[in-house]
Amino acid sequence: MRAISTALVTLSLLALTAAGAGAADKDKFLSLIGKYAADGTGSPAKFSPKTPCFCTGVGGGIANAAGWVVHYTGGDGLEYLNCYFPYFGADGSLQAYGYCNGFQVLAK
């Protein structure tokens, strides 16, 4: 009986350790993405581009439209990247944006 209890406690600790490592892995992954992509969860509340991109015309959007890389978490739990291209008003402020799935990142 004592061996079964010890085994259950050990399995529980291993499961907690694995869950903690998984969370740390996801945080590390999201930190990497966050260095290059603006947060688009919901919708971009502020204009904060990090990495320029342009739409290739594949997967919607306007071919060759310049924009910035945006990251969001989908309802399925996967992480997605899009290229959002801006529409600026006459005063230079962001009025609206479109997006494309097929894009290339501009290198420095």
Are 61 and 97 found together in one domain?
yes
**Are residue 26 and residue 73 in the same domain, yes or no?**
no
Q: Specify whether 28 is located in the same domain as 44.
A: no
Question: Same structural domain for residues 32 and 75?
Answer: no
Rounded to whole angstroms, the Cα distance separating 62 from 79 reads 23
- In this structure, the answer to whether residues 32 and 63 fall within a common structural domain is no
pLDDT of residue 48: 84
98 and 47 housed in the same domain:
yes
Domain check: are 59 and 106 in the same one?
yes
Q: Structural domain of residue 79, as residue ranges? A: 38-108
Q: Residue 100 pLDDT > 60, yes or no?
A: yes
Same domain, 55 and 79: yes
Residues 21, 46: one domain? no
Secondary structure in 3-state letters for the chain: CHHHHHHHHHHHHHHHHHHHHHHHHHHHHHHHHHHHCEECCCCCCCCCCCCEEEECCCCCCCCCCEEEEEEEECCCCCEEEEEEEEEECCCCCEEEEEEECCEEECCC
Q: What's the token pair of residue 16? A: 């907690």
Note the pLDDT tens digit of each residue in 6-61. Answer: 333 333 434 444 445 567 999 999 999 999 999 887 665 567 899 999 999 886 77
Is the same domain home to 26 and 43? no
Number of domains in the chain: 2
Distance CA 45, CA 37 (A): 14
If asked whether residues 98 and 67 sit together in one domain, one would say yes
Span 57-86, pLDDT tens digits: 886 778 999 999 999 998 999 999 999 999
CA atoms within a 13 Å half-sphere pointing along the CA-CB vector of 83? 25
Amino acid, single-letter form, for residue 106: L
